[in-house]
């Protein structure tokens, strides 16, 4: 009986969807940058591209996803977003180019 309960519990945990949080950097054609955090990256990218995310991203047409990180703990994601936001532009560029040297739009196939 104990073994059966354990396997049911394990099975439930295996099926449970783990929420993911994304720290991301958007860029404009002129490489103006925006650092954000979200729990639904696909939805948030669509909001940026439609100009519905924020006044800043709408004004500067930040529509290109150039960098991203994934976290399971929202506190870690928020802390990382704040850390990156506090960096000088040059350090943000170095971060982007370490993973995406050509500044490709990572949100497009």
Q: pTM for the complete prediction?
A: 0.81
Task: Please say if the pLDDT value at position 81 is more than 90.
Answer: yes
Per-residue pLDDT, 70: 94
- Please state which architecture CATH assigns to domain 19-99: 3-Layer(aba) Sandwich (3.40)
pLDDT tens by residue, 19-39: 799 999 999 999 999 999 999
DSSP string, the chain: -HHHHHHHHHHHHHHSPPP-EEEEEEE-TT--EEEEEES-HHHHHHHHHTT-S-HHHHHTT--EEEEEEEESSHHHHHHHHHHHHHS-HHHHHHHHHHH-TT---TT--
Per-residue pLDDT, 7: 36
């Amino acid at each position: 009986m104990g073994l059966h309960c354990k396997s049911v519990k394990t099975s439930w945990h295996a099926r449970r969807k783990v929420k993911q949080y994304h720290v991301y950097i958007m860029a404009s054609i002129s490489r103006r940058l925006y650092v954000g955090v979200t729990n639904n990256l696909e939805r948030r990218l669509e909001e940026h591209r439609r100009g519905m995310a924020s006044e800043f991203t709408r004004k500067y047409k930040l529509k290109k996803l150039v960098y991203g990180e994934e976290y399971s703990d929202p506190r870690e994601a928020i802390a990382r977003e704040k850390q990156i936001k506090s960096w000088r532009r040059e350090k943000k560029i170095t971060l982007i180019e370490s993973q995406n040297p050509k500044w490709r739009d990572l949100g497009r196939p």
